[in-house]
């Protein structure tokens, strides 16, 4: 069972941005351990070791907290994928690198992936959060398109499709591969499927437009 944080944290005065960050961390912890439905404002405040009113003071509503949490977690995932280095100079190697970057967090931290899936499912049901699934998609596609376009410009290799279209296809493939990993947990099966996806996409992109 979760324990209350040091009571000194309750008395400590923090700038609102720091308090917001503290509450978002607490919300993520509760959701990962118990599911999104268990993350009431009271449970989040208790996990953070702050008065219940702090949640409403910092975010106004739970909906605003959920929005901020989803955005911060997606941003973190995008930044983590962007830091993945690649020395590949061929198209297949670059596509593999971008696709594996999307899968890395799923393999390394399935709890985080499951939490994001739950938050997106919640957003689809809540009119006040209905824009977030589209925002998440655009965030991932835009970041992947940037990396692909940068490689194309640096290597001088022209793609048969615009970088954004390639990135969209990669996101579709990443979603299916993520589901495969979640269902089987079999790295060999995942690697074979990933190899097939990369080869097929590279061959397609090598064709004349």
Residue pair 171/140 in contact by the 8 Å Cβ criterion: yes
Which residue in the block uniquely carries the two structure tokens 């901020």?
68
Tens digits of residue pLDDT in 35-77: 999 999 999 999 999 999 999 999 999 999 999 999 999 998 8
Q: Give this prediction's pTM.
A: 0.83
Instruction: Give me the pLDDT at residue 86, please.
Output: 59
Question: Tokens in use for 177?
Answer: 């591969």
Q: In whole angstroms, what is the distance from residue 25 CA to residue 12 CA?
A: 17
- Report, as ranges of residue numbers, the positions in the chain whose pLDDT lies below 70: 1-12, 83-88, 207-209
Tens digits of residue pLDDT in 8-17: 444 467 789 9
User: Which residues lie closer than 8 Å to 20 by C-beta, 6 or more apart?
Assistant: 58, 59, 68
Q: DSSP code of 38?
A: G
Residue 65's nearest CA partner among 5, 21, 97 is 21
| Number of residues written out for the chain | 209
Angle at 143 between CA 27 and CA 156, to 5 degrees: 160
Q: Is 85 left (phi over 0), alpha (psi -120 to 50) or beta?
A: beta
Instruction: Give me the pLDDT at residue 12, please.
Output: 63
Q: Is 186 left (phi over 0), alpha (psi -120 to 50) or beta?
A: beta
């Amino acid at each position: 069972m979760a324990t209350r944080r040091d009571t000194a944290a309750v008395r400590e005065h923090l700038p609102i941005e720091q308090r917001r960050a503290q509450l978002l961390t607490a919300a993520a912890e509760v959701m990962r351990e118990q599911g999104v439905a268990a993350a009431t404002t009271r449970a989040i405040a208790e996990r953070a070791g702050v008065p219940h009113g702090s949640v409403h003071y910092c975010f106004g509503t739970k909906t605003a907290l959920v929005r901020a949490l989803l955005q911060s977690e997606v941003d973190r995932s995008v930044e983590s994928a962007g830091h993945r280095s690649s020395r590949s100079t061929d198209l297949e190697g670059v596509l593999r690198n971008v696709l594996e970057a999307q899968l890395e967090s799923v393999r390394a931290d399935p709890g985080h992936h499951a939490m994001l899936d739950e938050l997106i499912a919640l957003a689809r049901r809540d009119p006040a959060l209905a824009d977030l699934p589209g925002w998440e998609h655009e965030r991932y596609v835009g970041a992947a398109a940037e990396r692909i376009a940068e490689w194309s410009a640096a290597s001088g290799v022209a793609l048969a499709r615009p970088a954004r279209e390639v990135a969209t296809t990669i996101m579709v493939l990443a979603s299916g591969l993520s589901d495969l990993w979640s269902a089987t947990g079999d790295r060999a099966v995942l690697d074979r499927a990933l190899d097939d996806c990369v080869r097929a996409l590279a061959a397609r992109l090598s064709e004349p437009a």
